[in-house]
Amino acid sequence: MNKEPVNRELFDEVMVPNYAPGKIIPVRGEGSRIWDQDGREFVDLQGGIAVTCLGHSHPGLVGALQEQAEKIWHLSNVMTNEPALRLAKTLCDQTFAERVFFANSGGEANEAAFKLARRYAWEHFGPEKNEIISFKNAFHGRTLFTVSVGGQPKYLEGFEPAPGGIHHADYNDLDSVKALISKEKTCAVVVEPIQGEGGVLPGNPEFLEGLRTLCDEHDALLVFDEVQTGVGRTGHLYAYEMYGVVPDILSTAKGLGGGFPVAAMLTTEKVAASLGVGTHGSTYGGNALACAVAQKVIDTVSQPEILKGVKARSEKLRKGMMDIGERYGVFSEVRGAGLLLGCVLTEQWQGKAKDFLNAGLDEGVMVLVAGANVVRLAPSLIIPEQDIDEALERFEAAVKKLTA
Ligand SMILES: *Cc1c(COP(=O)(O)O)cnc(C)c1O
């Protein structure tokens, strides 16, 4: 076995250069703390980008993984397996869903959602009704279909020709949707209830309600991409509950496995019927290990105390960041919901979000960015209060140095 010591330089020698990771290589995590190769400790407000929703090495998740690992890891889709069926039943019980399709990543769950939306319209209304409306600055994944539906043209650059029939409206602007939607052509409207990568920008309630009405009027399906907002992130199991707007299809990933790769597409019985036998599939989708872990995640996160705890932690973290923002004149606003927060940089600091991330690392706190103008926080949903205090102290020290 290869036990050679590894360092950051090795990345540039052996990895495709599509990422630019920092110098630190974390080797161990517990709760909301992470240690690197040199034993330096960090408070983790990144949460693996809204993934490790129960922190690192959560005993319940470790237990679920170990228990299933000793039974059976994987079966083909020619079989079914107990963990997948149990998890699907739980997701149906806990949400609007009546049917579940399992995948391995957010991009794949969205790919399934978009294919299903087209197939449903094709079956019920004919091949002309194939257009998808999505939003500028949206992020839906990195497959060719999902970058095309996504609203950041730079992610499509050099990969064209892209799939056709996709239109981008302006987020939080119903009129821009009205200008594009039609009964003849539109099969789906795809939206993040809160744009995550696009800068932690919450949808206005009237906007999301309006999309529901427009979809109903035009026989189009409403697809919520909850890859980032799902699994307790907003203080609700899914953000659609917070808005009281029920989609026809919902994609969930990131937090679902708490760090184990798993994703799901949730939908109704009627819509699901359009993905008949042989129309779609995934080898690893519904993997027994992944579903056993996700079961423990959902069972844990859906407890009312945990969801209530998200709201309390959110208030504390939001207030702490607003105070820092005011003291040093760096943030104009802290927006988002629950433990998905975006600290919007003031005019003077535009384009400098990455500097805050790096300054934080120097002081022992890991924060994220969402674009160049927003510092994003997506910590564990059960981050101890004391770790929030310490993270804020460390972040303040970082901001103090940066602004000195
Ligand atoms: C992260 C993300 C995705 C893509 O998920 P992957 O697991 O990286 O494929 C899709 N949609 C949203 C809203 C996301 O935040």
In angstroms, the Cα distances linking 316 to 194, 236, 311, 386 are 20, 18, 9, 11
Residue 361 in any domain: the answer is: yes
Shared domain check, 367 and 399: yes
C-alpha 328: how far from its chain's center? 30
**Ligand 1 geometric centre to CA of 395 (Å):** 27
Question: What is the tens place of the pLDDT at every residue in 26-44?
Answer: 999 999 999 999 999 999 9
**Ligand 1 geometric centre to CA of 153 (Å):** 16
Backbone torsions φ then ψ of 100, nearest 5 degrees: -130, 140
Q: Which atom of ligand 1 sits closest to the CA of residue 253?
A: 7
Shared domain check, 219 and 207: yes
C-beta 197 within 6 A of ligand 1: yes
Share of the chain above pLDDT 70, in %: 100
For tokens 């299933």, the residue is 68
User: Residue 280 sits in a domain of what CATH number?
Assistant: 3.40.640.10
Helix (H, G, I), strand (E, B) or coil at 148: helix
C-beta 105 within 6 A of ligand 1: yes
Q: Which atom of ligand 1 sits closest to the CA of residue 225?
A: 13
Helix intervals (H) in 137-287 = 144-149, 174-178, 205-217, 239-243, 269-272
Residue nearest to atom 10 of ligand 1 (CA): 140
Residue 2 in any domain: the answer is: no
* Beta-bridge partner residues of 224: 191, 250
Q: Which of 197, 234, 252 has most ligand 1 atoms within 8 Å of CB, for mutation? A: 197
Known binding positions for N(2)-acetyl-L-ornithine: 142, 282
Residue 63 in any domain: the answer is: no
Helix (H) or strand (E) holding 188: strand 186-191
Backbone torsions φ then ψ of 36, nearest 5 degrees: -95, -175
Shared domain check, 86 and 51: no
Last residue of a domain, one of 233, 268, 301: 301
**Ligand 1 geometric centre to CA of 387 (Å):** 27
Domains contained in the chain, number: 2
In angstroms, the Cα distances linking 40 to 27, 228, 362, 364, 400 are 10, 29, 10, 8, 21
Shared domain check, 288 and 142: yes
Shared domain check, 113 and 258: yes
Last residue of a domain, one of 301, 334, 354: 301
**Spatial CA neighbour of 197 closest among 238, 240, 152, 157:** 152
- Please provide the average confidence, as pLDDT, over all residues in the chain: 97
Q: Which atom of ligand 1 sits closest to the CA of residue 107?
A: 9
Last residue of a domain, one of 252, 274, 301: 301
CA distance 222 to 249: 7
- The DSSP 8-state label assigned to residue 346 in this structure reads P
Shared domain check, 252 and 362: no
C-beta 225 within 6 A of ligand 1: yes
Q: Are residues 56 and 259 in contact, defined by beta-carbon separation less than 8 angstroms?
A: yes
CA pseudo-torsion sign 113, 116, 118, 124:
negative
Question: What is the tens place of the pLDDT at every residue in 303-355?
Answer: 999 999 999 999 999 999 999 999 999 999 999 999 999 999 999 999 999 99
Residue 62 in any domain: the answer is: no
- The confidence score (pLDDT) of residue 15 equals 97
Question: What is the tens place of the pLDDT at every residue in 113-162?
Answer: 999 999 999 999 999 999 999 999 999 999 999 999 999 999 999 999 99
Shared domain check, 131 and 145: yes
- The confidence score (pLDDT) of residue 1 equals 64
What range defines the domain where residue 362 resides?
8-57+304-403
C-beta 150 within 6 A of ligand 1: no
Q: Are residues 235 and 202 in contact, defined by beta-carbon separation less than 8 angstroms?
A: no
User: Residue 27 sits in a domain of what CATH number?
Assistant: 3.90.1150.10
**Spatial CA neighbour of 55 closest among 400, 392, 379:** 379
Question: What is the tens place of the pLDDT at every residue in 206-258?
Answer: 999 999 999 999 999 999 999 999 999 999 999 999 999 999 999 999 999 99
Q: Which atom of ligand 1 sits closest to the CA of residue 192?
A: 13
C-beta 198 within 6 A of ligand 1: no
Residue 122 in any domain: the answer is: yes
Shared domain check, 136 and 280: yes
- The confidence score (pLDDT) of residue 3 equals 75
